[in-house]
Amino acid sequence: MAKIPAAINTPPKSLRHNHKRHLKERIIELLLFLAAFLSVFITFAIIYLLISESLVFFKHVPLWDFLTDTQWTPLFDDAHYGILPLLSGTVISSLVALAIALPFGTIIAIYLSEFAPFLVREIAKPFLELLGGVPTVVYGYFALLFVTPLLQTILPDLPGFNLLSAGLVMGIMIIPYVSSMTEDAMRSVPMHLREGSYAMGATRFQTAITVVMPASLSGIAAAYILGISRAVGETMVVAIAAGMQPNLVWNPTEPAATITTYIVQVSLGDLPHGSIGYQTIFAAGLTLLLLTLVFNILGHLLRKRFREVY
């Protein structure tokens, strides 16, 4: 049997084991792992901080009173620790914002994905996303100095601080997040689904509503959940335009405080560390965390339920 030349058995130089290249790959892998671990560590550190500090608060305030009391006056002599006034302000401002952001963001996404010419889409989308980069304090003063006086021409009894103007401007601020993610989800739908719909005689609008949107429902749900979380966690707009007085109201034309605005109010004050008044910000923060966690879990379940694989 003929002997195979050694040169044939020798792999090319580029495929030989390179210790230097292997070391670089291991370092890069370690850096990527540390980056992923750091994000998880920070998340658990935040949760631990909120829970540990909240447990100290609940040693002095019963959980039932915290959930059912209709007054939130932790800084007064006659202190009450009911979270409902802050929750009502958070929910009402978020609902007003979502009533603007979700429908308008979806309409814009449908137009950009299914109807807009290429040049229009390439110009309009960056300008739309630019709204997401505007500082929220600018939106807050826009709501206070422009939107509120404009609404007062329609509603003369509207107070200077109100949840309505804050919610409307929050909705404008959230539109880029909803429209961009929704448009990306709709653009990811394969073209052959659209072509099949067109072959059946459907119009572009019918195709967008009955084919493209159901096929991209998991991505649209993710965009909606992001918009909801963004509205619930907004601080500066409601702090400037809605006031900082905790009131149990369900009328958006009234002033009220949200969970985030109360946290800002107390954090900037001079309360001593470890006092019950100071501990309230951790209990409020834990409530906000649980609220956003519920929305994110719902979004995950929706994405898992309606996810399409092509």
pLDDT of residue 266: 81
Long-range contacts formed by 295-303: CB under 8 A, 24+ apart:
295/225, 295/228, 295/229, 295/232, 296/225, 296/229, 298/225, 299/221, 299/222, 299/224, 299/225, 299/226, 302/217, 302/218, 302/221, 302/225, 303/218, 303/219, 303/221, 303/222
Domain map of the chain by residue range? 93-242+286-306
For the structural domain made of 93-242+286-306, what CATH number should be given? 1.10.3720.10
pLDDT of residue 98: 93
pLDDT of residue 2: 53
pLDDT of residue 130: 83
Whole-structure pTM over 0.85, yes or no? no
pLDDT of residue 165: 93
pLDDT of residue 12: 58
pLDDT of residue 273: 75
- Those residues of the chain that have pLDDT short of 70 are 1-18, 269-270, 306-310
